[in-house]
Amino acid sequence: MLAAEIFRQMRFAAGGLLCLPLFACVANLPLQEWQQTGDADWRFTGQGVEAGPAEATGYLVSRDQYRDFSLIVEFWIEDATNSGVFLRCSDTTIITPDNCYEINIWDDHPQQDFRSGSVVKRRSPLARVDTLDKWNTVRIDLSGSRIKVTMNDIVTAHFEDESLTEGYVALQYAGKGVLKFRNLQLRVGK
């Protein structure tokens, strides 16, 4: 394997993220080492992580920064919940669509240009994907300035943007419904 490309595949398990044995791992990144910010009550289960239904806002933030990578994660969400996957965040304490790429997970967003599959403040979704009350898969590919988002095998965003080059990954919980994440996979290239 070339040193310039590192493959890492992780999955949620009880107590954290574990590298799978078929892939080279740079480091074990257990979720308990991810920084929890805000007042969301994150619970780690044998299948993944969940939050809600209490009204709160919070994030699970990676301890490491990433540049070019592919991220796949499964999620389940109720209609009262706003969530998202934030990428290339420049700050672990202030997480917004201004200093991160936010892949939104919120079908009922009051501004439908920011509904599930959009990249908030940057791109409206190319297609409508309904995600409520079922397991869904989002894949996000970041390579240099190229960004591609696929939800349930449907491309919802594909564009170039040079404003963010490296940063943290964050999983968001906001609102008052139930949210679940599982089977997070990360392939990192340098």
Identify the burial level of 21 via C-beta atoms within 10 angstroms of its C-beta, where 0-12 means exposed, 13-18 middle and 19 or more buried: exposed
CA 125/CA 140 separation, integer angstroms: 13
What's residue 183's pLDDT?
A: 87
What's residue 93's pLDDT?
A: 92
Q: Contact at 8 Å (CB) between 134 and 120?
A: no
What's residue 86's pLDDT?
A: 98
What's residue 103's pLDDT?
A: 98
What's residue 187's pLDDT?
A: 87
Neighbours of 98 (CB within 10 A): 12
Per-residue pLDDT of the chain (190 residues; tens, 9 = 90+): 322 232 333 344 333 333 333 333 333 345 656 889 999 999 988 778 999 999 999 999 998 999 999 999 999 999 999 999 999 999 999 999 999 999 999 999 999 999 999 999 999 999 999 999 999 999 999 999 999 999 999 999 999 999 999 999 999 999 899 999 988 888 887 5
Q: Which CATH architecture group holds 5-189? A: Sandwich (2.60)
What's residue 6's pLDDT?
A: 29
What's residue 188's pLDDT?
A: 87
What's residue 33's pLDDT?
A: 66
Domain locations in the chain?
Answer: 5-189
Q: Contact at 8 Å (CB) between 44 and 60?
A: no
